[in-house]
Amino acid sequence: MDHTPKEYSVDFGGKPLTIRTGQLAQLADGAVTVQYGDTVVLATAVVADSPRDGVDYLPLMVDYEERLYAAGKISGSRFIKREGRPSETAILNARLIDRPLRPLFPKHFRNDIQVIITVLSMDGENDPDMPGMIGASAALSLTQAPFEGPIAGVRVGRIDGKFIMNPTLSEQRESELDVVIAATQKKVMMLEAGASQVPEAIVLEAIKAGHEAMQPVFGLIEQMKKELRPKETLTEVPVEVDGKDLHADIHGLIGEKIGAAVREMDRTKREEMIKAHEAEALDTFEGNYKLIDIKSAFGKLVEKEIRTVILKDGKRPDGRKLDEIRPLSASVSLLPRTHGSALFTRGQTQALSIVTLAGPGFEQLIDTMELEGTKRFMHHYNFPPYSVGEVKPIRSTGRREIGHGALAERALASVIPSKEEFPYTIRVVSETLASNGSSSMASTCGMTLALMDAGVPIKEPVGGIAIGLITEPDFDEKEQGEYQLLTDIQGIEDFGGDMDFKVTGTKNGVTAIQLDMKVKGITMKMIEETLERAKVARVTVLDVIKKTLAEPRAELSKYAPRIVSVKIPVKKIGDVIGPGGKTINKIIDAAGGKTVLTIDIDDDGTVSIASTDAAKAQEVADIIKGLVAEVLVGQVYKGTVLAIQKDRMSGKEIGAIVQILPNKDGMVHISELSDERVETVSSVVKVGDTFPVKVMQVDPERGRISLSRKRAVGETPTTEAK
């Protein structure tokens, strides 16, 4: 690679996009910086000179490295100041970039490839993910790798009916649509979208507009390739001389058996048959060929037979029609002590979703390079090995689980009620109990039902389905080859197919999209057909959801906390908290302790009291209202006698100290106790007595409040002391 510093620039979405080479990371095979606004990312690519032995997949690694210095920040942790495990955003961005790159390498390329995107500067407005994707494409284009790019990426928003290319972070928060498109010059490679029930036609328009907007980027990278790319290109793993004999030998041995196996409708039996045939091939040809080559050839035979069944016979492995959904079923309230639960089953895919509700204090704190704040709606997806009948150690959450969880979370995000409407922190966990294709869509449906079972007033039920694709062998080389779309793909169709296009939405429109490709892209016509196919299927899914539970339950579970919200003046927040939290802790302890009740105070003065006892929550709310209430002259309160006041010099009783609010008390002078003459205060009232009193005077400077008992006779108190 030429290390002479060079700069390339083009207008992209109304702003200059600048790619620089030759200055940084000169020992990498390809390295560029991409600047968009004041956001700068470094993208590097390194490709091994020779294939890795013993692998039957493309060993591509994409890492997205956030650096807090890019945003001028230091970690908020008191103990750890350097960056640690990648954030969820970083993991999702790495997946976002990996997915459109992977299909653009030859199927048999086995050299290790590592792409690292490092965010060097972050301006707080221009998201680094799209510059990172473009940088990865440019860096790979400058290596010897047989990368059939370039690709480009663009984010499309929609505000006031107008599409916006690469909206700023603040614009993204206002947008009804957030579509990320990765594409080659002619075809779309990857889609990721979130939307507020947007019609399919508008989503399609956004994709078309985004693809058009990214066209100048292709010319820019092609110019760089022409000037800087090495002349020699690494090739895929050489095909052995007897490679064709291996494929022929395996086909001759078990070709017909594989045809019968892929047509077996029951997944368990089908997999048992396929495993048995693979074992037969390994036993027969071990010693004549490499083990990895036998496995690879066997896999290709299975894939080829799946394509034959669908494209030539017009059938699916389980006998369904191409647009037919597997049997659906659902149930709710399975678990007795959880706040909400639902089980959703589609064929042999099954997801159990569980909802937990808590007060605002349980919101997730977000402190990343891009964002600081809190998150009140969370979905976590688990994929245990038993769900696919495997034995594997359970490790930390993987990238796939994070990605699937984020997709289902995005699918429901636009229908979750606002904090003002429903002031709860909401966590949903989806346990994949069985998986035979598209468990993330089962999680979406299960989560919808679980939320309604918990009494969360979601705006509309959300359903989802995955659409697959089977193409003819030379589809990549054609503008529009033969293909078939498959509604509700199962595992074997995902394995042998070319696309996983997931679409979620309500009866009104789309809420989320995720598209992954194995071929080198699809056309706009195919996207339009897929969106329409998914819409039809979604109606069926939503019908099952509504028949199971038509609407959110009117009442929360008796085990869920009840929240009472009180608005107090911001200047009074300190009065409620007290020195060192003394006042608020006293309230909590008096109400039954922290295990029973929590109090959360927002900066805007919103106080949320959460308790499993609704009456207790209301009682505490009344206490807090009393703490911040202003004492008004002429107001009548129900007061409680705290003490009998005596004159310091003579020792005579001169009045009663009466509490009228939790932190407010005043004195009823002996002359104001009764219309009749009173000899001693204690002859009329004693400590603990309660009676109405009227505020006669308030001295704001000295904090003294003068009260009258006799002037409140016959009047109704508007506020009581607690």
- pLDDT for the residue numbered 595: 54
Q: Domain containing 708: what range?
A: 636-720
8-state DSSP, 186 = S
> Which has more pLDDT, 618 or 529?
529
How far is Cα 61 from Cα 52, in angstroms, rounded to an integer? 14
The tokens for 454 are 């918990």
How far is Cα 540 from Cα 534, in angstroms, rounded to an integer? 10
Q: What's the rounded mean pLDDT across residues 647-658?
A: 90
What does DSSP say about strands 15-21 and 6-12: parallel, antiparallel, or unpaired?
antiparallel
- pLDDT for the residue numbered 241: 43
Q: What's the rounded mean pLDDT across residues 434-445?
A: 95
- pLDDT for the residue numbered 385: 94
> Side chain identity at 73, as an amino acid letter?
K
> For the whole model, what pTM was predicted?
0.87
How far is Cα 73 from Cα 101, in angstroms, rounded to an integer? 31
Residue with tokens 């959360």: 600
- pLDDT for the residue numbered 477: 65
Q: What's the rounded mean pLDDT across residues 212-235?
A: 93
Radius of gyration over every alpha carbon of the chain, rounded to an integer in angstroms: 33
- pLDDT for the residue numbered 115: 98
Query: Residues 221, 254: one domain?
Result: no
pLDDT reading at 403 higher than 60: yes
- Nearest CA to 378 out of 396, 352, 405 is that of 405
Lowest-confidence range among 46-55, 149-158, 254-263, 498-507? 254-263
> For residues 305 and 315, is the Cβ–Cβ distance under 8 A?
no
> Side chain identity at 567, as an amino acid letter?
K
Residue 236 lies in a domain: no
* CATH code: domain of residue 88: 3.30.230.70
Query: Residues 585, 643: one domain?
Result: no
For the chain, the domain total comes to: 5
- pLDDT for the residue numbered 80: 87
Q: What Cα–Cα distance (Å) separates residue 11 from each residue in 35, 219, 224, 610, 625?
A: 12, 12, 16, 52, 57
> Which has more pLDDT, 479 or 502?
502
Query: Residues 283, 355: one domain?
Result: no
Structural element, H or E, at residue 209 = helix 200-213
- pLDDT for the residue numbered 615: 83
- pLDDT for the residue numbered 594: 55
Query: Residues 414, 529: one domain?
Result: yes
Query: Residues 151, 224: one domain?
Result: yes
Residue 99 lies in a domain: yes
Burial of 351 (0-12, 13-18, 19+ CB in 10 A): buried
- pLDDT for the residue numbered 718: 73
Lowest-confidence range among 57-66, 127-136, 404-413, 477-486? 477-486
Q: What's the rounded mean pLDDT across residues 84-107?
A: 94
Percent of the chain with pLDDT over 90: 62
Lowest-confidence range among 25-34, 50-59, 323-332? 50-59
Q: What Cα–Cα distance (Å) separates residue 711 from each residue in 608, 632, 644, 654?
A: 37, 15, 20, 18
How far is Cα 721 from Cα 704, in angstroms, rounded to an integer? 17
Residue 321 lies in a domain: no
> Which has more pLDDT, 244 or 401?
401
pLDDT reading at 721 higher than 60: no
> For residues 328 and 540, is the Cβ–Cβ distance under 8 A?
yes
How far is Cα 517 from Cα 495, in angstroms, rounded to an integer? 12
Residue with tokens 């894939």: 303
* CATH code: domain of residue 611: 3.30.1370.10
Query: Residues 334, 308: one domain?
Result: no
* CATH code: domain of residue 652: 2.40.50.140
Residue 320 lies in a domain: no
- Nearest CA to 64 out of 521, 441, 408, 403 is that of 403
Handedness of CA 87, 179, 126, 118 (dihedral sign): positive
Q: What's the rounded mean pLDDT across residues 511-527?
A: 95
pLDDT reading at 171 higher than 80: yes
Residue 153 lies in a domain: yes
What b/e sequence results for 84-114 when a residue is b if at least 16 CB atoms lie within 10 Å of its CB, and e otherwise?
Answer: eebbbbbbbbbbbbbbbbbbbbeeebbbbbb
Q: What's the rounded mean pLDDT across residues 241-247?
A: 64
pLDDT reading at 140 higher than 70: yes
Residue 167 lies in a domain: no
- pLDDT for the residue numbered 664: 84
Query: Residues 247, 130: one domain?
Result: no
Q: How many helices (H) and strands (E) does the chain have?
A: 15, 30
pLDDT reading at 237 higher than 70: no
Q: What Cα–Cα distance (Å) separates residue 613 from each residue in 130, 419, 617, 697?
A: 49, 21, 6, 38
Handedness of CA 575, 579, 583, 584 (dihedral sign): positive
* CATH code: domain of residue 254: 1.10.10
> Which has more pLDDT, 586 or 358?
358
Chain mean pLDDT for the chain: 90
**For residue 363, what pLDDT band results from cuts at 50, 70 and 90?**
very high
Query: Residues 81, 122: one domain?
Result: yes
The tokens for 344 are 């959703």
**For residue 251, what pLDDT band results from cuts at 50, 70 and 90?**
confident
| End-to-end Cα separation, the chain, in angstroms | 78
Query: Residues 214, 255: one domain?
Result: no
Query: Residues 206, 247: one domain?
Result: no
Q: What's the rounded mean pLDDT across residues 694-709?
A: 88
- pLDDT for the residue numbered 478: 64
Residue 152 lies in a domain: yes
Count CA atoms closer than 13 A to 142's CA, side-chain side: 31
> For residues 613 and 630, is the Cβ–Cβ distance under 8 A?
no
Query: Residues 102, 42: one domain?
Result: yes
Lowest-confidence range among 35-39, 53-57, 520-524, 654-658? 53-57
Boundary-marking domain end, from 624, 650, 667? 624
How far is Cα 687 from Cα 183, in angstroms, rounded to an integer? 80
**For residue 722, what pLDDT band results from cuts at 50, 70 and 90?**
very low
Structural element, H or E, at residue 39 = strand 39-51
Query: Residues 708, 619: one domain?
Result: no
- pLDDT for the residue numbered 291: 84
Residue 342 lies in a domain: yes
pLDDT single digits (tens) 572-624:
888 888 888 888 888 878 776 555 678 888 888 888 988 888 888 888 888 88
